[in-house]
Structure 1
Amino acid sequence: MRSSVVVWLAILALVASCTSSARAPRKKDYARALGEGENALELVTDRSEYPDFRAMYGDSDSILRALRESRGWFDKPSSKRHYPVAGFTHDRVAYSLDRLIEIVASAQSPEELSGLIALNFDVYRSVGWDGSGEVLFTAYYQPIFDGSRQPTAAFSEPLYGLPADLVKAEDGTPLGRRVGETLVAYPTRREIETTNLLKGQGLELVYLKNRLDAFIIHVQGSAKIRLPDDTFVHVGYAGKTDRGYTSIGQELVADGHIADDDLSLSAIREFFSRRPDLLDDYLQRNDSYVFFTETGPGGPYGSLGLPVTSYRTIATDKTIFPRGAPCAVATRMPKLSPGGSDRVEDFVALVCDQDTGGAIRSPGRCDVFVGTGEAAERVAGHTKYEGRLFYLMAKERP
């Protein structure tokens, strides 16, 4: 009898274990890198899995502006060194831009736009984080902060230009720090800040009010700085160290300070306003450090040196996706309302792959540029939705 009980208990334990395992959802690792031999893009052979190109009709001026900026980049001889990538040649991507410009400029209805794209283009889909095509979409923006050319009691946190000892590859990939004839890893953010490594080299471009403002610019990659005389300094990304990026937002969630569902830039600001004693520790958990250059008023500019366009420029991992290529996205984004009660709507749009970012390092991540200033910050701070990322390649090849 006792042996029967033991057997039944063992069976029940096994069933419970299996049930528990079945119920436990697989953790979504959007930062998962491609495995050896894996491709970031796959051809979509079933048209029912295409995005709704009809919903992309309208506001042709903004997408044409972005497409033409990308096409101009392909005319630069230096653009050829970034191809082929993901199986696509430089000429095919340039031709794809030409064809899409023609189609967007000529289409007279949503149905015509959809039909022409489906007829003239092969549609490729990002494999996403797990091969299913699921991509996590976030958003970024250009902040506007008060600042000063000189350090003052009110403005003491600098943004730095590129140091002479930072070594980059021809394509801009950071390689490390030159020390004599040796190449070593660049110091971490914590090491840079606690040793004042960059101070006194004449690299200071502008000074901000506080460390969090400066850090936000590091994450966003560009900013407009309002000086005391009401003029502006425009700064943009110039390079970064070879250290990895860590999201302080995710660190705050992991430590139980902010609920994952409540995570936003405003929530992060509010937390550090209550706990300024924790600011340095969390900021310095992100080992990566970003350097800047003055860009002039025509930007902001993406990693291709092109002006980015609101809701038409995306940032992706440029080691696996074709730079400057025409794309389509299907996800959701907040829609601002004047009263402050935002709603979430489908965001289905033609876009261009014109930028990259420190946190965008896998086929499961994509960042959408949403503009400049406080309204854009509101959108960017609340955008975290799953969706699909597509690349459009002309069927006819030159």
Structure 2
Amino acid sequence: TLPDDKRGFVTAFYEPELEVSATRDDVWKYPIYNRPDDLIDLDDDNRPSHIDPYYAFALEKDGQISEYPDRRAIDQGYLEGRGLEIAYAKSKVDLFFVHVQGAARLRFTDGSLKRITYSAKAGHRFSPIGRLLLDRGELDPATISMQTIRQWLQDHPDQVDEVLWHNRSYIFFREAAVEGLDLGPIAAAKVPLVAGRSLAVDRLIHTFGFPFFIQSQSLTHLDDGKPFARLMLALDTGSAIVGPARGDIFTGSGDEAGELAGTVRNPADFTILIPKEAAERYS
């Protein structure tokens, strides 16, 4: 086995279920937005020289293209009054983690259920708030997880905005079909995610649909105490998933899946399976 600093690394993601209201009031006040019409796709043909090549989206206003307003500006009302709201959450922190996951089930106050999935982003780089809290000495590297980050935010309500705004990235959503709740949301590969078998990878390196065998001796809580060793399909991607041996395991939907996903941060070995004929071309 390779030393940890030479191996790959896995985390996990899930589909949260978020309590929402169709209308805004003093309790339900944090909007989930559809993609705005002034957000445009960027490519090499229309990207101005002053915008970082990383940016895939930007603001087009009065014939000029510039960076789109970030999380702080949007939280402070940049998109208000434009009719873009899908629903309203009562927890800014819960909504932030929906942004991180990129999809959710919405449970409305009347009991009805909708699904939302990623539509676009404001364009800015994903900046993990866990890294910020580690750098500040607020959390222990040995125990950091989604759960410890959430607990820190709960314990420091006066610092929530500052910390969340550190991640300038902002996600826009679209409504998705609710059918097939036994399956996960539709992945970037245009098929439903399957818990424990679907993997998010770096889309700039890997091709969707390729099988990976993932092994991690230290990741044991997903398989009843046994080391993780499973064949998975590359079906999704994410802005935090960067590198050839970096993967994000889909654990399912709801709170239980979130508890499983939140503590996955493990070294892992990645084996990609390709046809013999293709392998011979690389030998």
Deviations 1:137-168 (A, max 9, x none): 00000111211111123211111111112122
Compute the displacement of 1:364 (Å).
Answer: 4.2
1:311 alignment partner in structure 2 = 196
Q: Is the Cα contact below 8 Å between 2:245 and 2:270 reproduced in 1? A: no
1:175 alignment partner in structure 2 = 57
Q: Is the Cα contact below 8 Å between 1:174 and 1:239 reproduced in 2? A: no
- Paired residues in the alignment total 262
CA distance 1:336–1:346, change in 2 (3 Å): closer
- SS of 2:273's partner is strand
Q: Is the Cα contact below 8 Å between 1:334 and 1:382 reproduced in 2? A: no
Residue 159, structure 1, aligned to residue 28, structure 2: no
Q: Residue 335 of structure 1 aligns to which amino acid in structure 2?
A: H
- SS of 2:229's partner is strand
1:150 alignment partner in structure 2 = 23
2:52 alignment partner in structure 1 = none
Compute the displacement of 1:369 (Å).
Answer: 0.3
Residue 383, structure 1, aligned to residue 268, structure 2: no
Q: CA RMSD in A?
A: 2.3
Q: Residue 183 of structure 1 aligns to which amino acid in structure 2?
A: I
Percent of aligned pairs with the same amino acid: 31
CA distance 1:279–1:336, change in 2 (3 Å): same
Compute the displacement of 1:169 (Å).
Answer: 5.1
Deviations 1:273-330 (A, max 9, x none): 2210000000000011101011121441211222111011111110111122222211
**Aligned counterparts of 1:362 and 1:177: Cα–Cα separation in 2:** 28
Q: Is the Cα contact below 8 Å between 2:215 and 2:227 reproduced in 1? A: yes
2:51 alignment partner in structure 1 = none
- SS of 2:117's partner is strand
Q: Residue 243 of structure 2 aligns to which amino acid in structure 1?
A: S
CA distance 1:274–1:185, change in 2 (3 Å): same
- SS of 2:105's partner is strand
Residue 141, structure 1, aligned to residue 23, structure 2: no
1:302 alignment partner in structure 2 = 187
**Aligned counterparts of 1:355 and 1:169: Cα–Cα separation in 2:** 21
**Aligned counterparts of 2:220 and 2:129: Cα–Cα separation in 1:** 22
**Aligned counterparts of 1:155 and 1:193: Cα–Cα separation in 2:** 14
User: Following superposition of structure 1 onto structure 2, how do residues 201-212 of structure 1 map, counting pairs within 5 Å?
Assistant: 201-212=82-93
1:193 alignment partner in structure 2 = 75
CA distance 1:268–1:391, change in 2 (3 Å): same
Compute the displacement of 1:260 (Å).
Answer: 1.2
Which of structures 1 and 2 has the bigger CA Rg?
Answer: 1
- SS of 1:284's partner is helix
- SS of 2:134's partner is helix
1:373 alignment partner in structure 2 = 254
Residue 325, structure 1, aligned to residue 210, structure 2: yes
Q: Is the Cα contact below 8 Å between 1:334 and 1:383 reproduced in 2? A: no
Q: Residue 243 of structure 1 aligns to which amino acid in structure 2?
A: H
1:39 alignment partner in structure 2 = none
1:215 alignment partner in structure 2 = 96
Q: Is the Cα contact below 8 Å between 1:239 and 1:292 reproduced in 2? A: yes
2:125 alignment partner in structure 1 = 244
2:47 alignment partner in structure 1 = none
Compute the displacement of 1:396 (Å).
Answer: 4.1
Deviations 1:239-260 (A, max 9, x none): 1122111111121111111111
TM-score (norm 1): 0.62
Q: Residue 165 of structure 1 aligns to which amino acid in structure 2?
A: D
**Aligned counterparts of 2:241 and 2:257: Cα–Cα separation in 1:** 19
Compute the displacement of 1:175 (Å).
Answer: 3.0
CA distance 1:150–1:391, change in 2 (3 Å): same
**Aligned counterparts of 1:344 and 1:255: Cα–Cα separation in 2:** 33
**Aligned counterparts of 2:154 and 2:75: Cα–Cα separation in 1:** 21
Q: Is the Cα contact below 8 Å between 1:222 and 1:235 reproduced in 2? A: yes
Compute the displacement of 1:191 (Å).
Answer: 2.4
Q: Residue 62 of structure 2 aligns to which amino acid in structure 1?
A: G
CA distance 1:336–1:313, change in 2 (3 Å): closer
2:221 alignment partner in structure 1 = 335
**Quick check: which one's helix share is greater?**
1
1:354 alignment partner in structure 2 = 235
CA distance 1:197–1:344, change in 2 (3 Å): farther
Residue 290, structure 1, aligned to residue 175, structure 2: no
**Aligned counterparts of 1:345 and 1:141: Cα–Cα separation in 2:** 21
CA distance 1:212–1:386, change in 2 (3 Å): same
